[in-house]
Structure 1
């Protein structure tokens, strides 16, 4: 459970294109959960589906239990839109390689700064997209990781798994994810919002540090420093702590 009073640092690994989108256009993209490659996204653990199947078997005329939970799962994946960050300020080499690449960037802020920026933006902007987003439920949660296929029913009960969008398969635990999510609830909303949407932000308010990949070229560091200075983001660029050995 996230302790908001401690206001933890969060990181977002990205390539130059995504940084430009963030800084130049001052916006954050929220992707529909259904668009992710992870097939476990938004799914309940296997025992939940097995239980629904057993109800169908014992009551042959009742196909609603099994079909209902499967359709509900599909619906849930479509109605949630998320922006995914890494909880804590510690760097992760796997995430550098996956999301940043050789010349990658990780922007650092805090959970409350981003949360407040998103809430204020949606509240004050009156375009059609924000009008729809205001009808959605906004939530921020630390992702919990579980084994979808081998978790027993007792563990499911103890975990109180009632919002599977905030759970991921344990194979992804290295991400240490915190998720900002909008639950659009009504089919008409996510049908209009489609596969994703942007929320306007002020990058200057959000970015507290911009880390440069440990494998990046020297000229890439200089490029990012020059780029950010044009958008009043001065003195925030630094090398990854993983670039230098401890004796330097």
Structure 2
């Protein structure tokens, strides 16, 4: 399900999205057939799920006669979990650098439509998909008429992430969420292609092919475009 509002940009369903991750996390995804969603206040960005300055000032005025109004937003972040995906028609060298280590990573190529179809509808948690909008937190307003909106806005300094998010609000489940939760996922619908790290050695590439065969998956595995031979 999409998060919809005139102030939120929704990506087209054929938009290509990527997730860059280490082999261990990729194998966990395949073996468990579950997608990890991180607790929103565990992200590196300390502003995650908070409001811009104009919105915060508005919230303070509202909460003068209703202190619980502000308390709700302060505690809300620990109940929201997120899976982040990168929008790009092509591979991103920067994403390889940020999210993989030791040249032993993989990238999952998918689409927004595949994300939608891969989410198990009868799953325990209700998921929403939305594209992040990057704004000036000192000047621009973040709407608060929907509980998901604070998690669909980030500061302009994070524009390079070009992010689409799967979001769940787990408040009604009364869970003690540590780092995050795993949600059931249809792996075959989720993954369109797999790309192997451009700086990986041959033994690692062979290992990936062998693992996919032994686990019974027949995903299309691509050599990174960044590894193309130099033509002189």
TM-score under structure 1 normalisation? 0.78
Report 1:47-196 matches (<5 A): 47-53=54-60, 55=61, 63-64=64-65, 68=68, 70-101=70-101, 102-120=103-121, 122=123, 130=124, 133=125, 136=126, 138-148=127-137, 150-151=138-139, 155-156=140-141, 160=143, 162=145, 163-186=149-172, 189-196=173-180
SS in 2 for 1:37: coil
Over 3 Å counting, the alpha-carbon distance change for 1:52 and 1:233 in structure 2 is closer
Q: 1:39 to 1:220 in 2, by over 3 A?
A: same
Residues in 2 aligned to 1:190 and 1:245: alpha-carbon distance in whole angstroms: 54
1:219 maps to 2:190: no
Cα distance in 1, alignment partners of residues 197 and 70 from structure 2:
41
Q: State how far apart, in whole Å, the 2-side matches of 1:216 and 1:69 are.
A: 51
Aligned mates of 1:30, 1:107 — CA distance in 2: 16
Distance 2:130 2:175 in 1: 25
1:2 corresponds, among 5, 10, 14, to 10
Which protein shows a greater Rg? 1
Query: Gapped runs of 5+ residues in structure 1?
Result: 57-61, 123-129
TM-score for the superposition, normalised by structure 2: 0.83
CA separation of 1:24/1:178 partners in 2, compared to 1, >3 Å: closer, same or farther?
same
With over 3 angstroms needed to count, the CA separation of the structure-2 counterparts of 1:218 and 1:7, relative to structure 1, is: same
Cα distance in structure 2, aligned partners of 1:47 and 1:10: 32
When the two structures are aligned, how many residues end up with a matched partner? Answer: 220
Cα 1:192–1:213 shift into 2, 3 Å: same
* Paired residue secondary structure (1:242): helix
| Correspondence for 2:19 among 9, 12, 17 | 12
| 1:233 pairs with 2:222 | no
What SS does the corresponding residue of 2:207 show, helix, strand or coil?
helix
C-alpha separation in 1, matches of 2:136 and 2:28 = 35
**Hey, what does 1:125 align to over in structure 2?**
none
Q: 1:107 to 1:100 in 2, by over 3 A?
A: same
Q: For residue 5 of structure 2, what is the aligned residue in structure 1?
A: none
Superposition deviation, residue 39 in structure 1: 0.6
| Structure 2, unpaired ranges of 5+ | 1-8
SS at 2:226's partner residue? Answer: coil
